[in-house]
Amino acid sequence: MAPPSAPKKRKLHLPENEEVAGKLLEMHRSMAEQPGGLSEKQGVELSAAYRGVCAAKQPIRTPRDLLRTKGVENWVFNVMKDSFPSSSPDLSSHEANKRKYVPRKNSAPYAIVITLYRAMIRGKHYMMKQELIDAAEASGLSESAIGPNNTRAKPGSSQNDWYTGWSCINKLISKKLVEKWSSPAKYMLTEEGEKTARDCLERSGLDNTAEPSGQHSEEVVPSDSDSDEPHEPNNPLIGFIGFLVTMSF
């Protein structure tokens, strides 16, 4: 079977995204030239990512910018992320040392941030609403149900009776631990959310093999109230990551 044809070159909405778009085209070309290196599905997803980058109305300067771009799937992000220059957040001493929100152990937010983190270290950097609810439920990390409990939601019920564990997602977003974008909605941890998830795992004695050595947790304030509201194939070619790394913006 012939390899998927490369997407036609498009005009960019923002000229500053030309390098990212060019790398996607080069990725398609390089993988297609290697026998069995580019499946039809990967070709379709690369083309969709390229179209999304060309149409993007915001500059794509970081891996997170790329992941939020329409058409970019997890595996495309995984092979592209190392081609971005690393950057350190510019935090003031007040921001770096301030007390932060950490979900209470065995609460719904606790289960959600750990579920997103565990998916992230497996290469799945965002989750859709229902798969996140299902995975958080299956984790057994929350004492309360994550998904809707329709048996409690009866006519005349108080607002609290309609509360579900998923309602906490608004608080996680407002506390800047989780990002939400796209339609249908996608959810991912922010950098602060990743730190918080690692802290939750460490404090609970749960599996935390992705914890970087020498990293220390910030001062935290566990909260007593947390209520405000198929893995895709990852088949980048061996050696292709190295190719991308050598390309810089």
The CATH number that applies at residue 110 is 1.10.10.10
Same domain, 80 and 128: no
- In this structure, of 7-21, 115-129, 183-197, 199-213, the range with the lowest mean pLDDT score is 199-213
* Whole-number pLDDT of residue 214: 37
Does 235 reside within a domain? Answer: no
- Domains of the chain: total: 2
Let me know whether 34 and 111 are in one domain: no
Q: Look at the block and give the residue holding tokens 């992000």.
A: 77
Residue 204 domain-assigned? yes
Is 170 within 8 Å of 74 (Cβ atoms)? no
Which DSSP category does 214 fall into? T
Which CATH number do you get for residue 60? 1.10.150
pLDDT of residue 244: 46
pLDDT in the model for residue 105: 93
> pTM for the whole thing?
0.61
Residue 166 lies inside a defined structural domain of this protein: yes
Of the residues 39, 56, 87, the one at which a domain ends: 87
pLDDT tens digit string along 5-53? 778 889 999 999 999 999 999 989 888 888 878 888 888 999 999 999 9
Burial of 190 (0-12, 13-18, 19+ CB in 10 A): middle
Residues 34, 56: one domain?
yes
Instruction: Find the domain containing 47 and state its range.
Output: 15-87
C-beta atoms surrounding 179 within 10 Å: 17
One domain, residues 115 and 58: no
**Are residues 54 and 160 located together in one domain of the fold?**
no
Q: Which helix (H) or strand (E) element contains residue 158?
A: none
Q: Are residues 123 and 146 in the same domain?
A: yes
pLDDT band at 137 (very low <50, low <70, confident <90, very high): very high
107 shares its domain with 209: yes
